[in-house]
Amino acid sequence: MEQSRQFFRTPPEHGRVRKTGFVEVRSFWNIYRSFDRLWVMLVLYLQAAAIVAWDGETWPWQNLRGNQHREAQVRVLTVFITWAALRFLQSLLDIGTQLRRAFRDGRMLAVRMVLKAIVAAAWVVAFAVLYKGIWSQRDSDRGWSRGTDSRIMKFLYAAAAFLIPEVLATVLFIIPWVRNALEKTNWKICYALTWWFQSRSFVGRGLREGTFDNVKYSIFWVLLLAVKFAFSYFLQIRPLVKPTKEIYRLSKVTYAWHEFFGQSNRFAVFILWLPVVLIYLMDIQIWYAIFSSMAGAFVGLFAHLGEIRDMKQLRLRFQFFASAMSFNIMPEEQHVNERTFLPNRLRNFWQRLQLRYGFSRSFRKIESNQVEARRFALIWNEIITKFREEDIVSDLEVELLELPPELWNVRVIRWPCFLLCNELSLALGQAKEVQGPDRRLWTKICKNDYRRCAVIEVYDSTKYMLLEIIKERTEEHGIVTQLFREFDESMNLDKFTVEYKMSVLQNVHAKLVALLSLLLKPNKDITKIVNALQTLYDVVIRDFQAEKRSMEQLRNEGLAQSRPTSLLFVDTVVLPDEENATFYKQVRRMHTILTSRDSMVNVPKNLEARRRIAFFSNSLFMNIPRATQVEKMMAFSVLTPYYNEEVLYNKDQLYKGNEDGISILYYLKQIYPDEWEFFVERMKREGMSDMKELYSEKQRLRDLRHWVSYRGQTLSRTVRGMMYYYDALKMLTFLDSASEHDLRTGSRELATMGSSRFGSSRREGSAGGSGYYSRASSSHTLSRATSGVSSLFKGSEYGTVLMKYTYVVACQIYGQQKAKNDPHAYEILELMKNYEALRVAYVDEKHSAGAEPEYFSVLVKYDQQLQKEVEIYRVKLPGPLKLGEGKPENQNHALIFTRGDAVQTIDMNQDNYFEEALKMRNLLEEFNRHYGIRKPKILGVREHVFTGSVSSLAWFMSAQETSFVTLGQRVLANPLKVRMHYGHPDVFDRLWFLGRGGISKASRVINISEDIFAGFNCTLRGGNVTHHEYIQVGKGRDVGLNQVSMFEAKVASGNGEQTLSRDVYRLGHRLDFFRMLSFFYTTIGFYFNTMMVVLTVYAFVWGRFYLALSGLEEYITKNTSTTNNAALGAVLNQQFVIQLGLFTALPMIIENSLEHGFLNAVWDFLKMQLQFASVFYTFSMGTKTHYYGRTILHGGAKYRATGRGFVVEHKKFAENYRLYARSHFLKAIELGVILVLYASYSSSAGNTFVYILLTLSSWFLVSSWILAPFIFNPSGLDWLKNFNDFEDFLSWIWFQGGISVKSDQSWEKWWEEETDHLRTSGLWGSILEIIIDLRYFFFQYAIVYRLHIANGSRSILVYLLSWTCILLAFVALVAVAYFRDRYAAKKHIRYRLVQAIIVGATVTGIVLLIEFTNFKFIDAFTSLLAFLPTGWGIISIALVFKPYLRRKCKQGSYSMKPSAEDFIFLKCLLAKKDMEFKLNPFSFLKVICFIILEGAVLLSDIRYVDGTWSSTVV
């Protein structure tokens, strides 16, 4: 390192720029400081409720009514003292955390802070003096007199003055536009008036919503708080009053140990109230989950979510589907100004009602000659084609789902086959049963439009087909023509049922089906076809006609041969060639309509295809903005940050198996069996003759790699999905300008092309079980590049769409990958080749001799004409890119390369769907709408988590995430108005954000959750964030427990950092009270309250442990009525509800009920419980608690790469231990030991039922935290694997650390990394950590008095003498270590002798204790439960001191650092050598204190090597 580079020079204090506007301080007090209004409300209500409930009346107003309760009335006034004290606390916190700002922001800030503290303190003193005066007057008057009433009135006058700011805030809340105007104005008088309350800041001004929105979220929170406070009073606070009084009145309490504070029982009261108070402080989160679920369901119902849930409901609404698509997807220029004129709005509203409920006939039916129907057919068929390209439908299902073009002179709309299934059979049944004229039968058939269309289509198709296969200008052709002419005349005259026998229709149907079956056979036998035609003719002529006619009459009428020289139809049947795929496709369609007997509700059989069709169809009946033409729509871009994730899986990754031989390809075949079947079918249609070609032939192998990659979380999947925008816009551009002629000819051309594409690889049997399909030649295929609507384009569509859409992938290290010939770079280049609108942005680093490296942001594309990658832009950067967090920095540098008015941020694990891309221009119109008093600046988009089918754990995560991104976001946007930016599908107003700091904050650590800060920034700067559920984007989630845990650790740590941020502080103070509540309980409050649940478990378990081992529990039980009251039961129930996941399950059940039906939702929930979902949610709760609490206390938040891969391998126990030891295992062991001790010493444990009720939830938490890594680990309960894991774990434990050793190789290195957060912890964090760790010493203090050797003594000497055991064990450990290092290698006998002496001394000591004291052998095992926690406590405290000791050593400070002479003294003492040395007690003390503080971790730093002591620390 060059010495001239002053990298580590301390900057001068003078002129140094410090933090401005806000100073982040790591402390739990930030939660109170940012949301002080919430905590003031909770504390004041708790105090008032406890005072009111103390008198014991049933209803609270009974305790405040009349003069007999005057004492309670006066005591309630103490809430003002508390309120003033809380204000004083807030002012002190401001001074303690923000005083440093005064040096930068001006002295007036310091003046304001000090003045606010003085005023708050004055209010505390004033209220206290006035309150004291009331009681003094009452005592002097010996009762409540006019004098005391006068004192009370003085107090109330002071309280009224105290409340003036709150009253003013309430008035401004009721008329929000006044407050917005005052905050936005630049008048100096307004600054002067608001100087006392807030700093002069340009963010967070004018955040109040409109009156209507105010009313909505106010009603929500008023109802919620009313229910919460009523529940808290009657089921939490009031039931505790009686046991509190009984315990408090107890005297002469007998403790089982030495009590330092006399015979007081106040601590028992504290223990009784503590878990109740903790639950009281957090249970608004539970009530929020309940109320938000109900509100979300209510809003979703009005938004028409879930009206079409499956294919059966789609079948009922498909008649309106075309009109819905035309109304919403296709533009109408006369509606451009619909936002301006009320009549247009009313007309639009009426049209939506007609569309949704079929009020008008024009919306119920579409006819085949309408432009609307042709557009619908093109769009619908293109969607089905995309489904086939994605392998989620088969070739057969394509024919069943697609909408056929106008062929064969069919007079009606030709609905997809899956809609017409079984309709012809039902029509035949009606024809046989209904007696009467034609009109009656036809009216009954026409009641079902599908049935009417099926009958007419089969009739017209049969007529066309027969005339097509019979030679023209032959007598047979004339006979068939005349026969159908008679049919037509009979139907026109309403005499068909009279002239023909309806009962014979079944026979005609059977003969026609037989004919079609022969036509569809691969090897067509003309003789059999002729025989089938003759049979059909005979049935129609001889049996079907009601009036028998002679052969002469038939000849005269042209229905028989004039000269029967040969058999009928012989030599006159000419079948179309196999090349005529359109003909046979229509024959297959006829056969399907004629033979289907079931409802085809399982078409398509793939669940994903069904879900997408149902959602798309349902979304078209929701309230969607009208679309404009593509040429007039907003231009937009999509931005995806990418680092080094998988682009496309390679061959080795596909086939490489784990230790059980399971590969990714095999895994996906089992998860997606139908999609694999469809993929193989597609490959065979495209020319594959043998399955081996998939693994050997280059193009087939690449197709296989794509198939696998499109089912993972890869960049290729994301790019394919986002480029659907490009395809959809091209199609919409064509449809915008296409004429009726273009649509008619285009639909027929596509029908021919589609027949060629899907004319091969047919199977016998349809989805309904009655179709028959021929296997055509595999040579009849069509190139993928020319298939679809793109073949109809005129050429101008490409340029139009490129002006409206750009996709930028920010591949940060693409330049380095190209330089290294990384396969990822090649695959990214292939993506640019295949997708014209794709652009890649990366950071290029240029090195020149003797100069600083230069950095550039570069944008490249692939030029199709030059056939190479070309550079578009190159922007020089001032320095290295990664100064902050990597992902937001990656987004920020590439944002300049996006174009248009909007930008959609898409993560690398997302997907998109073609049918959803069609609605993008509708979504962009939302920017022009007002939501409340503001237009939106961020459009929230619904997500679908596509990884739910991978595993049970992925299902749990998917269900939880789905409810969050649907119902949760819906409620946040409306009615609560606090939705932020939670995910990457959101669409930003690009131009608005470019001038307001961009879409990502990238400061290191504090902005680790960069997504949500965009929402914070938007809200603080007056923007509006909405949520829209008529469009969805795919989203992948982590699928393994370790992946999920790392993701939740990152999010929890990110929320911990958010708690410290200025954004959260400003929102907590600038939002009105109810929006502040919504904001808190949906962001950091969720994690804080999750931590509170775990703290409640700790408070309950430790409290019970204290009561049991102190003897208080037994004494209280004998001398009071009960302590296990309703309040404790309510606490345990609420805690258990949260642990089981019901806390998060309720929104899931409600949302599933809304979109999939109540029974399906309940059944899914039950299946999840059977698959241990509650274990997972309880385990997840521990992850959130640990990382959120640790981040606020010590910091250490960091980005954790989860990999996003498939979990097909068993995770070793050592890996799970490294991940969960501190967060779950140690805490679970601690709670488990306490529960065991409580069961051993508690008087309540004698009653098994009572013990189970008290500890069930705690035991469930303990077992979940320990067993979840085994349950959710592949082969986690396999005995052989666990045995191998144990050996691997021991190897990892005993492996010595080193310089280049990683944490997964050595326990020592892992331990250093795991405790690294203590190195950066602040003073108060270290003090709090020490205070928390002191709880471990309580085990020893509580247990030693219960040992038999104590003989019931309560003397403090019992506890002090117990420490001799720890010192003896420590001396024995050091002695063994010393003699092992000195004699184990060369003088092994001496080492064994020392071991024998130590063991013998230990055994002798135990024997002597048994003989001469009350010591029993069981005491030895009980002592372990006392001394092991003490040892862990010493280690935990030593870890806190470790950074301080090392810093002191580096600085050369003496203090307690042992010198070399001190170690020589210890060495001589241990070696017992006959050498002279001066006995120095202080040296001995320093060495012992040093070793104890360093503990087991630092013990390895002091080693005896080659006869001398050495220390890496010293």
Please tell me the distance from the alpha carbon of residue 520 to that of residue 575, in angstroms, as a whole number.
11
Q: Which of the 8 DSSP states describes residue 1201?
A: -
Please tell me the distance from the alpha carbon of residue 1291 to that of residue 1312, in angstroms, as a whole number.
18
Q: Which residues pair with 1009 in a beta bridge?
A: none
Q: What angle do CA 1443, 1449, 1452 make, to 5 degrees?
A: 145
Contact 1002, 883 (CB under 8 A): yes
pLDDT of residue 296: 94
pLDDT greater than 50 at residue 1040 = yes
Contacts of residue 192, defined as CB under 8 A and 6 or more positions apart, other chains included, come to: none
Exposure of 1056 in the CB half-sphere (CA atoms within 13 A): 28
Tally of CB atoms within 10 A around 64: 17
Query: Side chain identity at 399, as an amino acid letter?
Result: E
Confidence of residue 768 (pLDDT cuts 50, 70, 90): very low
Q: Helix 266-282 crosses helix 1084-1110 at what angle (to 10 degrees)? A: 160
pLDDT of residue 344: 64
DSSP readout, 880-899? -S-SS-HHHHHHHHHHTT--
Q: What is the mean pLDDT of residues 592-596?
A: 88
pLDDT of residue 1135: 62
Helix (H) or strand (E) holding 1385: none
pLDDT of residue 102: 60
Query: Side chain identity at 107, as an amino acid letter?
Result: R
pLDDT greater than 90 at residue 976 = yes
Tally of CB atoms within 10 A around 175: 13
pLDDT of residue 792: 77
Please tell me the distance from the alpha carbon of residue 838 to that of residue 642, in angstroms, as a whole number.
14
Spatial CA neighbour of 86 closest among 130, 143, 43: 43
Please tell me the distance from the alpha carbon of residue 1136 to that of residue 1123, in angstroms, as a whole number.
20
Q: What is the mean pLDDT of residues 825-837?
A: 93
| Of the listed ranges 547-556, 622-631, 660-669, the one predicted with least confidence | 547-556
Please tell me the distance from the alpha carbon of residue 887 to that of residue 877, in angstroms, as a whole number.
17
| Of the listed ranges 283-292, 338-347, 675-684, 864-873, the one predicted with least confidence | 338-347
pLDDT of residue 1312: 86
Confidence of residue 127 (pLDDT cuts 50, 70, 90): very high
Confidence of residue 134 (pLDDT cuts 50, 70, 90): very high
Q: Which of the 8 DSSP states describes residue 866?
A: T
Contact 76, 51 (CB under 8 A): yes
pLDDT greater than 80 at residue 699 = yes
Confidence of residue 1453 (pLDDT cuts 50, 70, 90): very low
Q: What angle do CA 574, 577, 579 make, to 5 degrees?
A: 160
Please tell me the distance from the alpha carbon of residue 1200 to that of residue 1045, in angstroms, as a whole number.
10
- Summarised one tens digit per residue, pLDDT across range 808-821 is 999 989 999 999 99
Structure tokens at 554: 């038939």
More confident: 704 or 565? 704
Give this prediction's pTM.
Answer: 0.88
The 3 state secondary structure assigned to 190-242 is HHHHHCCCCCCCCCCCCCCCCHHHHHHHHHHHHHHHHHHHHHHHHHHHHHHHH
pLDDT greater than 90 at residue 1392 = no
pLDDT greater than 90 at residue 1084 = yes
pLDDT of residue 190: 67
Helix (H) or strand (E) holding 841: strand 838-846
Tally of CB atoms within 10 A around 693: 18
CA of 959: how far to CAs of 1184, 1476, 1502, in Å? Answer: 18, 75, 52
Q: What is the mean pLDDT of residues 951-970?
A: 88
Structure tokens at 1004: 């290191």
Please tell me the distance from the alpha carbon of residue 38 to that of residue 1064, in angstroms, as a whole number.
14
Structure tokens at 1395: 């071991």
Provide, rounded to the nearest whole percent, the portion of the chain with pLDDT above 70. Answer: 85
pLDDT of residue 1454: 39
pLDDT greater than 60 at residue 616 = yes
pLDDT of residue 161: 94
Please tell me the distance from the alpha carbon of residue 935 to that of residue 975, in angstroms, as a whole number.
16
pLDDT greater than 80 at residue 790 = no
pLDDT of residue 1460: 42
Query: Side chain identity at 772, as an amino acid letter?
Result: Y
Spatial CA neighbour of 713 closest among 640, 821, 608, 611: 640
Q: What is the dihedral of CA 1184, 1189, 1195, 1197, to 10 degrees?
A: 0
pLDDT, averaged across the chain: 82
Contacts of residue 643, defined as CB under 8 A and 6 or more positions apart, other chains included, come to: 811, 812, 813, 886, 887, 890
Spatial CA neighbour of 686 closest among 800, 780, 550: 780
pLDDT greater than 50 at residue 767 = no
Rg of the Cα atoms in the chain: 40
Q: What is the dihedral of CA 296, 301, 303, 305, to 10 degrees?
A: 100
SS3 776: strand
Contact 909, 960 (CB under 8 A): no
pLDDT of residue 1462: 43
Contact 709, 908 (CB under 8 A): no
pLDDT of residue 1133: 64
- Summarised one tens digit per residue, pLDDT across range 466-521 is 988 888 888 888 888 988 898 888 888 888 888 888 888 889 999 999 999 999 88
- Summarised one tens digit per residue, pLDDT across range 1292-1351 is 888 876 777 888 888 888 888 888 888 888 888 888 999 999 999 998 888 888 888 888
More confident: 1474 or 1153? 1153
Structure tokens at 665: 């390809």
Q: What is the dihedral of CA 1139, 1144, 1150, 1155, to 10 degrees?
A: -130
Q: What is the mean pLDDT of residues 1214-1223?
A: 91
Q: Which residues pair with 877 in a beta bridge?
A: 855
pLDDT greater than 60 at residue 786 = no
pLDDT of residue 1301: 82
SS3 686: coil
Cβ-based burial of 1411 (10 A; exposed 0-12, middle 13-18, buried ≥19):
exposed
pLDDT greater than 70 at residue 1136 = no
Structure tokens at 872: 């578009």
Alpha helices in 620-710 (DSSP H): 651-655, 664-671, 673-685, 693-696, 698-709
